[in-house]
Structure formats: structure tokens, C-alpha cells
Amino acid sequence: MDSLRAEGLVNVVDVEATCWAGSRPPGEVSEIIEIGLTVVDLHVGERLARHRILVRPVRSMVSEFCTELTGLTQYEVEQGVTFAEACRLLAVEHRAGARPWASWGDYDRHQFLRQCRVTGTPYPFGRRHTNAKAAFTEAYSLRKRPGMAQALEIAGRSLEGRHHRGEDDAWNIAALVIHLWERGAWPAAAGRPA
């Protein structure tokens, strides 16, 4: 792949983490259990690839509420990799440190920062992060930042797959990134190709 095309690639990331219907159980913390990643080529406005990394939690369990929300079970995530290995995969296989990346809101970025700090794992991403929710809100002059499903409706697009599943959400967010790019509303600092 030539370097000009490589400059137009953006990693769109969505994570799912352990969660509870009420307060979290004593001694447990919210941990990433799934990382969804879709590679977008802004030069051609296409989603090139979708990836899923299951992450094995060590300080929490997948609650019944979490399974209802995400479809992920404790058994399924126990088959995943460690958080450190997931970060290594992001850095090595998905060029997370070199490519600009985007997520719907800042939750995903903050969750990675927090979990990397607590576990002593090197942060896999570079500094070029775009809050796609903020970019969408600005592009549509909205008063309130919409959730991803609502943004898809506003953009006239359908939700593909299961909402609150990292791989599917990253795929849908990537469609919104392309939509913003096509409208000329994707921020230049976020990797908009010339």
C-alpha cells in the first residue's frame, strides 16, 4: 500500500466493558471485554475491514445485565486474550500508534487510558483521536450529542448488526465517519486526506 493511501486510513474503535444494572459489586472494576475495530479508507470512503478482539477480564465478571446488553457471556470472554495482549495486537497488527483513530464519544479513549494506567500496559494508540460524536453534533448543529443509533437515523442510515456489540458498533460508527467525510465535516486534524 503506498504511503499516500496509508495516510487516509483511520481506525474506528468501539469497546464493550463489564457493567452492572445497579452499583458494581464490591472489589470489581469495569474492564474492557471486547474491542471492535473497523478500518476506514477516507480516500475512497469505504470500510475496508472489521476486527474483533475478545479480552479476558481479571478483576470483574460479566454480569447478567452485561450479557443482556452486549450478548457477551463470561464463558465467551474467558476465551479471549489478556488486556496487555489486546493492546499489543492493536499496536502491531492494526498500527494503532501510527494511524488516526476515532470513537463515538470519549468513553473508549478514557477506558483505555484508565485500564493501561492501572495494569501498567503501554497505551496502544497515538495522539490523533477524534470524538466522532462531537464531530457529528457540530456537523448537524445539534444541541445535544446523539447516541450512535440516533445519529444513524439522523444520517438516514440503518443500524447493522447488534447495538452494544463492539465489532458491530465500530462498523456502524465507521459508516458515520464516512458520512461526515462525504459531507466535508470530518476534521482535517483527524486524518482527512487532502
Regarding the domain delimited by 3-188, which CATH topology (the fold level of the hierarchy) does it fall under?
Nucleotidyltransferase; domain 5 (3.30.420)
Cβ atoms 135, 173 nearer than 8 A: no
Per-residue model confidence as pLDDT tens digits over 50-78: 999 999 999 999 999 999 999 999 999 99
Residue 137 near residue 146 (C-beta atoms within 8 A): yes
pLDDT recorded at residue 190: 53
E strand segments, the chain: 9-17, 32-41, 46-54, 101-103, 129-131
Cβ-proximal residues to 160 (8 Å cutoff; 6+ apart), any chain: 168, 171, 172, 175
Q: Are 134 and 189 in contact (CB under 8 A)?
A: no
**pLDDT of residue 2 exceeding 80:** no
The confidence score (pLDDT) of residue 69 equals 97
Cell digits of residue 77: 470472554
pLDDT in tens, 126-168: 999 999 999 999 999 999 999 999 999 999 999 999 999 999 9
pTM: 0.93
CA angle 11, 180, 169 (to 5 degrees): 50
Select the highest-mean-pLDDT range: 2-11, 41-50, 185-194. 41-50
- Cα–Cα distance for residue pair 71/168, rounded to 1 Å: 12
- Write down the pLDDT at residue 194: 40
